[in-house]
Amino acid sequence: MICLPKMLYVLANVPTYVPLRWFNDIDKLLQKLLCPTSKQRLARAIMQALWSKGGLALPNFWNYYLAAQLANLQQWWHPNLDNRAMTLEMHIMGSEQELQTLPFTGPRPDNNLSAKTLSTYKCWQIVAKETYLNTNQWSPAMPLWHNKLLGQFLQIPDPGIWANKGITELHHILLGYVLKTFELQNHYLFRYLQLKHAFSTQFPGHTV
């Protein structure tokens, strides 16, 4: 379908969230185009099914929209700093890290998300729900700071001190399944004890 690449370009670059009802209207117009004079005899799901499954392989624009928006996640996680739009999104979020961890931590109260960033985040939530993707599972790459899933680490004051040392994800403080030891100056000893307490409380039973 020659119009599909053009539509996909629009869906990937639309600067705001497009609700499902808009795509339902598009599907209705397409159905009228295919059946202009007679009553629709095939359900929309059958018309959008693959040829191999007895369908007409009509495009599901809603799924195309979700896929196009989720492509932005790749840019968040592997940003091209020469892309001015990407650097602008980082600036609005506050930092590169906050943009990268947004899908897992959600927006913070002081975050002022742009319409495009919010659109991608909403689409991510929809896909996670529809595919039963569990974003609450612990992962070595999950963010340590401002992460609602790690409640004990939210109690650590000034997490930016650790972030400035490159300690931003769970695997940065782990050696196997135990907490790493770090070579720190004396005035950082108390902060390490705070980190140790948060780890032992968040993950009881693990050696610290």
Mean pLDDT across the stretch 128-134?
75
Considering the chain, what percentage of its residues have pLDDT values greater than 70? 90
- What distance in Å separates the CA atoms of residue 45 and residue 10, rounded to the nearest whole number? 24
**Residue ranges per domain, the chain?**
3-62, 64-130, 136-208
Query: 123 pLDDT exceeds 90?
Result: yes
- What distance in Å separates the CA atoms of residue 90 and residue 102, rounded to the nearest whole number? 11
- What distance in Å separates the CA atoms of residue 194 and residue 152, rounded to the nearest whole number? 10
pLDDT at 68 (0 to 100): 92
CA distances from 122 to 37, 80, 125, 168, 202 (A): 38, 23, 5, 24, 29
Mean pLDDT across the stretch 127-155?
78
Task: Name the phi and psi angles at 87, rounded to 5.
Answer: -65, -30
Query: 206 pLDDT exceeds 70?
Result: no
User: Is the entire prediction scored with pTM above 0.75?
Assistant: no
Predicted confidence band at 60 (pLDDT cuts at 50, 70, 90)?
A: confident
Query: 13 pLDDT exceeds 80?
Result: yes
Q: Identify which has the larger pLDDT, 63 or 53.
A: 63
Query: 207 pLDDT exceeds 60?
Result: no
pLDDT at 69 (0 to 100): 92
What is the residue type of 63? Answer: N
Mean pLDDT across the stretch 143-160?
84
Query: 132 pLDDT exceeds 80?
Result: no
Is residue 138 within 8 Å of 176, Cβ to Cβ? no
- What distance in Å separates the CA atoms of residue 160 and residue 166, rounded to the nearest whole number? 10
Query: 170 pLDDT exceeds 80?
Result: yes
Q: What is the rounded average pLDDT for all residues in the chain?
A: 82
Task: Name the phi and psi angles at 35, rounded to 5.
Answer: -125, 70
Mean pLDDT across the stretch 104-111?
73
Predicted confidence band at 126 (pLDDT cuts at 50, 70, 90)?
A: very high
175 has which bridge partners? 178
